[in-house]
Amino acid sequence: MGPFKSSVFILVLHLLEGALSNSLIQLNNNGYEGIVIAIDPDVPEDETLIQEIKDMVTQASPYLFEATGKRFYFKNVAILIPEKWKTKPEYMRPKLETYKNADVLVAEPNPPGNDDPYTEQMGNCGEKGERIHFTPDFITGKKLPQYGPQGRIFVHEWAHLRWGVFNEYNKDQKFYLSNGRNKAIRCSADITGKNVVKKCQGGSCVTKSCKVDRVTGLFEKGCEFLPDREQTEKASIMFSPSVNSVVEFCTEKNHNKEAPNLQNQRCNLRSTWEVISGSEDFKKTTPMMTPPPKPTFSLLQIGQRIVCLVLDKSGSMKSGDRLKRMNQAGKLFLLQTVEQGSWVGMVMFDSAAQVQSELVQINGGAERDALIRKLPTAASGGTSICSGLRSAFTVIRRKYPTDGAEIVLLTDGEDTSISTCFTEVKQSRAIIHTVALGPDAAKELEELSKMTGGLQTYASDQAQNNGLIDAFGALSSGNGAVSQRSIQLESTGVTLQASQWMNGTVIVDSTVGNDTLFLITWTIQPPQILLWDPSGKKQDGFVVDTDTKMAYLPIPGTAKVGIWNYSLQASSQTLTLTVTTRASSATLPPVTVTSKMNKDKGNFPSPMVVYAKVHQGALPILGASVTALIESANGKTVTLELLDNGAGADATKDDGIYSRYFTAYDTNGRYSVKVRALGGVYAARRRVMPQQNGAMYIPGWIENGEVKWNPPRPEINKNDLQGKQVCFSRTSSGGSFVASNVPKAPIPDLFPPCQITDLKAKLQGDNRINLTWTAPGDDYDYGRAYKYIIGISTSILDLRDKFNESVQVNTTNLIPKEANSEEVFVFKPESIPFENGTDLFIAVQAVDKVNLTSEISNIARVSLFIPPQTPPETPSPSLPCPEINVNSTIPGIHILKIMWKWLGELQLSVALG
């Protein structure tokens, strides 16, 4: 491994460890604090669920403590209770805790019957996960035989969430060949059990031993490894903590490096304990000498939303129409984004702060209009951000505590004294969302968002990018029901020349349509506005506000499903169009797009990763067209196509999370992120998706030598597995990030190709090996690599640790394709004896035009299996068989009866493994 390659690998590891997360979890003296477990608003009220959550965490804490060498335990947990549940004196108001930053979500299974516990993991090995998912039936112990004790499973999922490790089993492949023998995929290999298959016909089922496929050498389809109920092996928790003796993670000594599972694939054959012990958590702690205390719990019930706008009206807001653009965005927020029933106040500031409105509850249009009239109309003076924040705290405290209240802070100016109110901000326990407008906004703004769990956004002075409206449009409630949240269907803009037209379409799909609003802004004079619904009917009645330079049209009732067409015409000015809506039904989840960067600070040449999650409820939307628009501080916009292909930056294929590396730095400073997602004929909604990163479903156990099958998994409707057309359009703000250490142009090429993570190998005729993988690029996953190096070995560890010394395959005729294309390469191993029972390991490395190399790929394997020849059947001579009376008392007949009985028992024993 060259010195540059090593440095890049360290940078990538740092990138993963510093991944951006909204979580409030803190590690304090070995104890995890600030864990948020939220009960979904759609879960029927059941107070016993709260106690079951407490019991789960209480049981998990000592298990975690012992499993991690007395290093970690659960110290305190907040349980978020839905607003519609009955109130109780012991239920407190949340502070910074919201559904958006919950670490664990307890929600009804989707689809019904799928109670798999799992963890969302967007990134790769060592990167924190997003959220753990449990169902009420799992929490209450109704799935105990299938998954195991809830506390143990919580620790399994915690390892996914906190340390970025992966499963040591494989749902799609249960066995692999090693030296010609079938082995169950497990860790450690000392877990005992039997390999059996259940054969069912006509309502009756029998258990049989697994047969070997004569072509592949693997066990037949449906063969399962059932663990013994009683074990002595202690590892591993990431295989199955439901095994009674399992109390440890696999270490380097007992880790099964050959098993084709996600842990080996994603973590370069490292054991889970190696990854955990390399984490920041591990480095900050030493083993405790005394047992930890039991976890404590706070019960928090969601209440009404409280928001205070804190808006800059200093002299610098005069430039570039900033004041008008702020009012346009504020008007959208007050008209549409903020939910009914919310309490909203308004403060504006320059050198000092002025209260524009005390808290007002939004019950209808009257309150919204009254607040809109309070938006500032003139700009002058200096910039005192702290005075604005202090006034907002005062406004809120006149009616409510500041705990959990939200402040939307917008400024375009610098303020050297902003840090003087950081202590007050922390003590307020309010959530501060920041909107940085223009290149000179205070550099400390992001600190306010980070310390309070708020959203950080940036909008440039390029009005056609609609960044300010996108920032305010992203400020829907972190706690409100999904059906009540504002959803942005479209956000676009253009600078027209002469008398050009701005034409386009907006798709309203069946999952949305309530409270739909079309909003248009301009910079000089009102444009001509033409809008037609899907039936071709022209829509009139736009409300025109010439002072704010905007027009809007609310669509009454539920907007028609289909394609809406618009045409806007104006002379030499900038126009923008924004369309927002809400869910069409309280019971049908809408298609949503949420986007984010992997961290909030980019340090050149470490790449950033942009993620977009496209789902309908818990179900992923596949095959969508997803693009990210990333705008730098100097106004340059880069368009990225995001992919769900399981390659490059994308960790898992077909999980509805679309990803891509960003390396196109062009300046230091803030970058804004917007994602656009479009469905169409190729979009597919997969009703049942096997969760990659969750607890193993145990199909059965071996108890006292007998097979005990668990209830089968719910039947899957084959029609639900078919791809269905999902036509939709969405835009989503991905917040902002800050870049540093970007050199002046020309920017040097310091980006190697990305690691190949989806290498697959299979044998074909004449002992040839067929390799497939997704092409990396010249710079991570962009462009085209210069060449490939393919190494092979009969030792998996030699290939990993001494790749440069491995036998190299001739790749003279292998010309790399464009990034994200499918590569296929067939070769015959000639330098290594390839005989029956041989296991061959293969890895690929990409090299770019300036000789920068990628990390070696995941290691693929093939096992040569030559089917045994079937000997010709020799007919036995037919001999007359005397009739035998089995009840005869003739000597020898009794012995024959005993032999028949013994043979029958032997057959049954063989059948059971």
What does the pLDDT read at residue 648? 94
Reading phi first (left if > 0) and then psi (alpha if -120 to 50, else beta), residue 304 is in beta
Cα–Cα distance measured from residue 163 to residue 840, given in angstroms and rounded to the nearest whole number? 31
Alpha-carbon dihedral angle through residues 889, 894, 895, 897, given to the nearest 10 degrees = 140
| Residue 424 annotated in active site | no
502 touches 546 (CB < 8 A):
no
| Tens-digit pLDDT profile for residues 601-634 | 999 999 999 999 999 888 889 999 999 999 999 9
Burial of 576 from C-beta contacts in 10 A (0-12 / 13-18 / 19+):
buried
The Cβ of residue 199 has, within 10 Å, a number of other Cβ atoms equal to 11
| Tens-digit pLDDT profile for residues 220-246 | 999 999 999 999 999 999 999 999 999
What does the pLDDT read at residue 714? 76
Supply the angle between the helices 47-67 and 150-163 in degrees, to the nearest 10. 70
Residue 572 pLDDT > 80, yes or no?
A: yes
Residue 909 pLDDT > 60, yes or no?
A: no
| 683 band by pLDDT with thresholds 50, 70 and 90 | low
Q: 859: closest CA among 754, 752, 753, 757?
A: 757
Residue 360 pLDDT > 90, yes or no?
A: yes
What does the pLDDT read at residue 899? 39
Encoded tokens for 188:
């450690």
- DSSP of 643-658: B-SSSTT--STTSSEE
Same CATH topology for 304-320+338-444 and 760-864: the answer is no
| Tens-digit pLDDT profile for residues 268-280 | 999 999 999 999 9
Spatial CB neighbours of 481, under 8 Å, sequence gap ≥ 6 = 41, 586
Q: 491: closest CA among 627, 367, 608?
A: 627
| Tens-digit pLDDT profile for residues 530-557 | 999 999 999 999 999 999 999 999 999 9
CA distances from 822 to 342, 643, 819 (A): 51, 14, 9
DSSP state of 696: P
Q: 529: closest CA among 554, 548, 552, 561?
A: 552
Cα–Cα distance measured from residue 279 to residue 267, given in angstroms and rounded to the nearest whole number? 13
What does the pLDDT read at residue 110? 78
| 719 band by pLDDT with thresholds 50, 70 and 90 | low
How does the average pLDDT of the chain come out, rounded? 90
Domain ranges of the chain: 26-168+276-301, 304-320+338-444, 603-683+725-740, 760-864
Among 398-412, 436-450, 752-766, 897-911, the range scoring the smallest mean pLDDT is: 897-911
End-to-end alpha carbon distance in the chain: 47
Of residues 514 and 687, which shows the higher confidence score?
A: 514
97, 157, 168, 631: the active-site residue: 157
| 665 band by pLDDT with thresholds 50, 70 and 90 | very high
Residue 883 pLDDT > 60, yes or no?
A: no
779 beta partners: 782
What does the pLDDT read at residue 646? 93
What does the pLDDT read at residue 302? 92
| Tens-digit pLDDT profile for residues 140-152 | 999 999 999 999 9
What does the pLDDT read at residue 832? 83
Of residues 4 and 102, which shows the higher confidence score?
A: 102
Of residues 742 and 2, which shows the higher confidence score?
A: 742
310 touches 448 (CB < 8 A):
no
| 900 band by pLDDT with thresholds 50, 70 and 90 | very low
- 402, HSE (Cβ side, Cα atoms, 13 Å): 20
At the topology level of CATH, where does 760-864 sit? Answer: Immunoglobulin-like (2.60.40)
139 touches 49 (CB < 8 A):
yes
What does the pLDDT read at residue 111? 76
Residue 893 pLDDT > 90, yes or no?
A: no
Residue 885 pLDDT > 70, yes or no?
A: no
- The backbone torsions φ and ψ at residue 128, rounded to the nearest 5 degrees and listed phi first, read -60, 145
Cα–Cα distance measured from residue 684 to residue 233, given in angstroms and rounded to the nearest whole number? 43
Of residues 93 and 688, which shows the higher confidence score?
A: 93
Cα–Cα distance measured from residue 499 to residue 520, given in angstroms and rounded to the nearest whole number? 17
Spatial CB neighbours of 3, under 8 Å, sequence gap ≥ 6 = none
Residue 394 pLDDT > 70, yes or no?
A: yes
Residue 913 pLDDT > 70, yes or no?
A: no
Residue 688 pLDDT > 70, yes or no?
A: no
What does the pLDDT read at residue 894? 41
Residue 400 pLDDT > 50, yes or no?
A: yes
| Range 603-683+725-740 classified under CATH 2.60.40.10 | yes
787-817 as b/e: b if 16+ CB within 10 A: bbbbbbbbebeebbeebeebeebeeeebebe
Q: Which residue has the tokens 């309502």?
A: 203
Cα–Cα distance measured from residue 442 to residue 421, given in angstroms and rounded to the nearest whole number? 14
Q: What percent of the chain has pLDDT over 70?
A: 90
Q: Is 608 helix (H, G, I), strand (E, B) or coil?
A: strand
Average pLDDT over residues 731-739: 96
- 687, HSE (Cβ side, Cα atoms, 13 Å): 15
Average pLDDT over residues 314-327: 95
Cα–Cα distance measured from residue 474 to residue 487, given in angstroms and rounded to the nearest whole number? 9
The Cβ of residue 589 has, within 10 Å, a number of other Cβ atoms equal to 18
Domain at 304-320+338-444: CATH architecture:
3-Layer(aba) Sandwich (3.40)
Encoded tokens for 135:
């169902």
Q: What is the pTM of this model?
A: 0.90
Q: Which residue has the tokens 């007395």?
A: 70
> Counting every residue, how long is the chain?
913
Q: Is 301 helix (H, G, I), strand (E, B) or coil?
A: strand
| 482 band by pLDDT with thresholds 50, 70 and 90 | confident
Q: What percent of the chain has pLDDT over 90?
A: 82
